[in-house]
Amino acid sequence: IAGITQAPTSQILAAGRRMTLRCTQDMRHNAMYWYRQDLGLGLRLIHYSNTAGTTGKGEVPDGYSVSRANTDDFPLTLASAVPSQTSVYFCASSDGTSNEQFFGPGTRLTVL
């Protein structure tokens, strides 16, 4: 089934630990995005990639890094997690023509 998958579904993490959230799409979309969603703040863009091999910073990039080695995968890494990174993380992709974004199911991350 075409779409976007994210892993893990949820995670509890100790502060200071390193964590990678995985995102894979099989729609051959060029553009991919990572958002965090916090109550009352809506979706905020962390990092994006317009095509394989390129990445860019969004609104709230500090503390996060991404890579885009191929079209399908776009992992998000927290080098040293802090409690303020407790959030729901959504990965999304678009084909770059209509700019409609398709979202993965999300990862609920709690940093203690």
Partner 1 sequence: GQNIDQPTEMTATEGAIVQINCTYQTSGFNGLFWYQQHAGEAPTFLSYNVLDGLEEKGRFSSFLSRSKGYSYLLLKELQMKDSASYLCAVTDSNYQLIWGAGTKLIIKP
Which of residues 56 and 83 has its CB atom nearest to partner 1 in the complex? 56
Q: Residue 45 is encoded by which pair of tokens?
A: 């863009």
Taking the C-alpha atoms of residue 107 and residue 100, their distance in angstroms, rounded to an integer, is 21
Rounded to 5 degrees, φ, ψ at 108 are -95, 115
Binding-site size for partner 1 (CB under 8 A) equals 18
The owner of tokens 């992709």 is: 93
CB of 94 to partner 1, least distance (A): 9
Which of residues 10 and 80 has its CB atom nearest to partner 1 in the complex? 10
Which candidate, 112, 67, 111, 56, places its Cα nearest to that of 89? Answer: 111
Assess 98 for contact with partner 1 (CB under 8 A): yes
Assess 64 for contact with partner 1 (CB under 8 A): no
Residues that bind partner 1 (CB under 8 A): 40-45, 48, 58, 90, 98-106
